[in-house]
Chains A and B, each alone.
Chain A
Amino acid sequence: MNRLRHADVEVGAELPERTFPVRRLDLVRYAGASGDFNPIHWNERFAKSVGLPDVIAHGMFTMAEAARVLTDWAGDPGCVVDYSVRFSAPVVVPDDEGAEITVGGRVKAKNDDGTVDVLLTARSGGAKVLVQSKATVRLAR
């Protein structure tokens, strides 16, 4: 995997947009791997009983998919210095067709310490599911 060099990045550069499918099976697997067994992420009857439209994805699943866009672009999963997101709407995952999460990003700033600031976006079902999402990554010299 080739590491992106700090000198080769310009402010305003777009990260390649990608779309990730998410199905109920992904949420069950993620629940097991992360330890987040909140039934709103796998039990439709329970999700609806607490006022949600259907089963919703773990916010952290969306955050992980957005991280893939970031680390694949930078070429190094260990490059992340800071990473923060706000979950602005749920990713609703119907039983039959599942959902899709589309992630994009843009370089907001180049810093003198060899890092860059990236703004990330994520949409699902026509809604912005991440807002105020940003990361600082340390790029190769």
Chain B
Amino acid sequence: MAINPDYLGREYPAPEPYEVTRGKIREFAEAVNDPNPVYTDPAAARAAGYPDVVAPPTFPVILGMAGSAQAIADPDLGVDFSRVVHGDQSFHYSRPTHAGDLLDSVTRITGIRALGGNELLTLETVAHDAGGEHVVTATMMLVVRGGDE
């Protein structure tokens, strides 16, 4: 199965804004075993200068995962999810995400190429807040491993 090169540049807008809640940030911080109180204690977060609890730096991968899932679910893109591993990941932040954010995001396919029997798919997710200001751009490169046969 090969990735359809015609999909380069295709965009997948999130169906609705993502609401960042204290509970979800706490769940994520606990899942990465990070006890920093600015993730769970609003008073600690305010003391550190934030309007509410902030999210760990890798939290926006949730938006990237959702966007990439939209793309991969498209059968005409031609990605076999069972052969996907994560190749690289980057984040560029305008500010930290915090509870109360309502994030609009669009995921775009920015790279499709073959490398040594594998295929590399790059997806860029750009998130803006309710005021239209940029919050974070998350870029993931997925490796679709070639078959052994």
Q: Which of A7-15, A70-78, A92-100, A103-111 contacts B (4 or more CB under 8 A)?
A: A70-78
Is B89 in contact with A67, judged by CB distance below 8 angstroms? no
Contacts A35-B65, A58-B86 given; does A1 touch B36 at CB 8 Å: yes
Is B57 in contact with A60, judged by CB distance below 8 angstroms? no
Is B56 in contact with A77, judged by CB distance below 8 angstroms? yes
Minimal Cβ-Cβ distance residue in B for A56: B85
Q: Once bound together, how far apart are the Cα atoms of A70 and B82, in whole Å? A: 32
B20-32 to A contact mask, C-beta < 8 Å, 1/0:
0000000110111
Q: Once bound together, how far apart are the Cα atoms of A20 and B91, in whole Å? A: 22
Is A59 in contact with B86, judged by CB distance below 8 angstroms? yes
A55 interface residue (CB < 8 Å to B): no
Is A82 in contact with B28, judged by CB distance below 8 angstroms? no
Specify which of A1, A56, A90 is in contact with B48 (CB 8 Å cutoff). A1
Residues of A within 8 A of B54 (CB): 77-78
B42-76 to A contact mask, C-beta < 8 Å, 1/0:
00000011100010111001100110010000000
Specify which of A32, A58, A70, A77 is in contact with B38 (CB 8 Å cutoff). A77
Instruction: List CB contacts (< 8 Å) of A38-90 with chain B.
Output: 38-40, 46, 50-51, 56, 58-61, 63-65, 67-68, 70-72, 76-78, 80-87, 90
Q: Which residues of A contact B (CB under 8 A)?
A: 1, 20, 26, 29-30, 32-36, 38-40, 46, 50-51, 56, 58-61, 63-65, 67-68, 70-72, 76-78, 80-87, 90, 132
Q: Which residues of B contact A (CB under 8 A)?
A: 27-28, 30-34, 36-39, 48-50, 54, 56-58, 61-62, 65-66, 69, 81-93, 95-96, 145, 148
Q: Which 5 A-B pairs have the closest CB atoms?
A: A84-B90, A33-B31, A78-B96, A64-B32, A59-B86
